[in-house]
Amino acid sequence: MDFFSILVIAIGLAMDAFAVSVASGVTIRQMHLRQTVTIALSFGLFQGIMPIIGWFAGVGFRDYITPFDHWLAFALLVAIGAKMIYESFQLEDDKCDEFCMTGGRLLILSIATSIDALAVGLSFSLLQVNILTPALIIGVVTFVLSYLGIILGRKVGHLFEGKIEIAGGIILILIGFKILLENTIFVAG
């Protein structure tokens, strides 16, 4: 898989964390640099680890599903994208005066926003893509976008948060179609 495709997947996956970061920037009135970095680092770390976990889970049964792996990758990416689009309409609007992102809440949000990355790691395993570089790119992109999301949330508010998650969902769905087309219609040979 080429760098550009991995980068687009990373951006698509980071949209959940970006949307939560924008919401955090909107809802937490007094957030300092340390808290901003902590949130972004947590999202980036989990987004980078989850594809590795999914990849190792997929390695165990790759040989059994190779004949239809592209269909599974397609289904996973479309399901993840559709879930992101659906969840974009479920954003909540809670305001707090101080940093209200507790360690437990941050852990839950980090896991919840990275479940999609677990499924993508499984897809990469099925497509026999080496996971280390994609996982690193996904983690770094998520960190950067989460950091920028908090700053954007503090500046712009609720103008874009639902639209950002919708864009991420659409990107993942399109990548799913690309994988399906490359492995069915445009198969060389």
Handedness of CA 5, 7, 8, 13 (dihedral sign): positive
Judge whether 43 lies within some domain: yes
Judge whether 32 lies within some domain: yes
Judge whether 83 lies within some domain: yes
User: Pseudo-torsion of CA 120, 164, 20, 14, nearest 10°?
Assistant: 30
Judge whether 13 lies within some domain: yes
How many structural domains comprise the chain? 1
**Tokens describing residue 53:** 């976990």
**Tokens describing residue 29:** 């009135």
Q: 189 Cβ partners below 8 Å, 6+ apart?
A: none
Judge whether 94 lies within some domain: yes
Q: Per residue of the chain (189 residues), what is the pLDDT tens digit?
A: 789 999 999 998 998 788 778 777 776 667 789 989 999 999 999 999 999 999 998 877 666 766 776 787 778 778 877 877 887 776 554 445 445 567 877 888 888 788 888 888 988 988 888 999 999 999 999 999 999 998 988 887 656 656 766 776 787 688 778 778 877 887 654
Judge whether 155 lies within some domain: yes
CATH number at residue 173: 1.20.1250
CA distances from 130 to 1, 17, 21, 113, 170 (A): 9, 24, 29, 23, 25
pLDDT at residue 158, as a whole number: 56
pLDDT at residue 76, as a whole number: 73
Which residue, 30, 29, 1, 37, is CA-closest to 123?
A: 1
Judge whether 187 lies within some domain: no
pLDDT at residue 69, as a whole number: 66
Judge whether 189 lies within some domain: no
* Residue span of the structural domain in which 115 resides: 3-181
